[in-house]
Amino acid sequence: MTRDFDVAAGVASGRLDVYLAAELGWSRNAVTTAIKSGRIVVDGRPAKASQPVLEGETISVAEPVLPDVTSPPQSLSLPIVYDDADMIVVDKPAGIAVHGGNAQSTAGTVAEFAKLHTTDLDPDRPGIVHRLDKETSGLLVIAKTAAAKADLQHRWQQREVHKTYRLLVIGRVEEDAAIIDLPLDRNPAIPTRRAVHAAGRPATTRYKTLAVYPGYTYVEAYPETGRTHQLRVHFAAIGHPIAGDITYGAPKRPLGLTRHFLHAAGLKLVAPSGKPLELASPLPTQLEAVLRQLEASA
């Protein structure tokens, strides 16, 4: 199978091996090996690991067909919040990735689950419309057909889908309601992460405070854009990283957390059928326990 990556405006930067390691979830050594074996080409030409990634290029990666040693799709079950002929909405637990590292490693992921519910979609590219980080729980939309996927993606691009997140951040947030408007780009030092960058893509988050506890603020956030790690980077950038998010500045995992405290709690959109939907997901047990612990100590 061949995967193509079209380098979009504002993404071009750095070496090819670094870029592909971030996109594919491979090690740089694995990318270099694939380049040397001729499995990676840029605009149809042989590639070099050190060459720069340029806007407008198409990078093609021929992935080897591996024996199917994964567990069957039935091994993963997810709570279903909404289901119709076009789409399904699941309540993803923390600890489950949306995608695997490559097309042959989808076992235990939402992508594996999605294959059971799609019809005319490529099984290697099932109907995942948006993503949640592995440690983030909550509502996730899966399209069942190619037409539904195109419809939903258009609604996302037009910002017609409204998402609500609940999160616990470290420290007392200064304003009870505010907007964070900080552009984001890849972290040049660690390409799998994101960072605030003046030349990055626009990113806007609205939020309001729900409760204040000693050392923490419980927040409801509404991302108006959908950048990778947006809420995690935005709150870290204003000095209030999400509790448990050691990737973006939280010093440790407090209060019995085994994950970061970020939950996709609400989703409002119009389904491909034209039906208005307003869906909700309650906080997982662990996050509820954290709030009870904080309330008891207040």
Q: Is residue 133 flagged as an active site residue?
A: yes
pLDDT for the residue numbered 12: 58
Rounded CA-CA distance 78/186 in Å is: 31
Q: Are 187 and 286 in contact (CB under 8 A)?
A: no
Residue 233, phi then psi, degrees to nearest 5:
-75, -40
Q: What topology is assigned to 162-268+276-297 in CATH?
A: Pseudouridine synthase (3.30.2350)
pLDDT band at 65 (very low <50, low <70, confident <90, very high): very low
Average pLDDT over residues 181-193: 90
Average pLDDT over residues 144-173: 95
CATH number of 73-157: 3.30.2350.10
pLDDT band at 221 (very low <50, low <70, confident <90, very high): very high
Return the closest-CA partner of residue 119 out of 149, 139, 78: 149
Rounded CA-CA distance 27/13 in Å is: 18
Rounded CA-CA distance 6/21 in Å is: 15
Q: Are 260 and 245 in contact (CB under 8 A)?
A: yes
Is pLDDT at 70 greater than 60 in this prediction? Answer: no
Q: Are 225 and 168 in contact (CB under 8 A)?
A: no
pLDDT for the residue numbered 117: 82
From 17, 86, 91, 133, the catalytic residue? 133
Work out the widest C-alpha separation in the chain, in whole angstroms.
Answer: 63
Is pLDDT at 115 greater than 90 in this prediction? Answer: no
% of the chain exceeding 90 in pLDDT = 60
User: Quick one: CA torsion of 169, 173, 177, 180, rounded to 10 degrees?
Assistant: -70
* Chain mean pLDDT for the chain: 88
The gap from C-alpha 293 to its chain's centroid, in whole angstroms, comes to 29
pLDDT band at 251 (very low <50, low <70, confident <90, very high): confident
Rounded CA-CA distance 18/38 in Å is: 17
The DSSP symbol for 8 reads -
Instruction: Tokens 């076009």: give the residue.
Output: 86
Is pLDDT at 243 greater than 80 in this prediction? Answer: yes
Extents of the domains making up the chain: 2-62, 73-157, 162-268+276-297
Rounded CA-CA distance 274/149 in Å is: 14
Q: Which of 26-30, 57-61, 223-227, 282-286 has the lowest mean pLDDT?
A: 26-30
The DSSP symbol for 272 reads T
Give CATH superfamily name and number for 2-62. RNA-binding S4 domain (3.10.290.10)
pLDDT for the residue numbered 24: 76
Q: What is the DSSP string of 18-81?
A: HHHHHHH---HHHHHHHHHTT-EEETTEE--TTSBP-TT-EEEEE-------SPPGGG----EE
Is pLDDT at 241 greater than 70 in this prediction? Answer: yes
Is pLDDT at 74 greater than 60 in this prediction? Answer: no
pLDDT for the residue numbered 105: 56
Q: Which of 36-45, 57-66, 281-290 has the highest mean pLDDT?
A: 281-290
Rounded CA-CA distance 104/64 in Å is: 9
Q: Which of 9-13, 91-95, 257-261, 277-281 has the lowest mean pLDDT?
A: 9-13
pTM, two decimals, is 0.75
* Domain 2-62 matches domain 162-268+276-297 at the CATH topology level: no
pLDDT for the residue numbered 208: 98
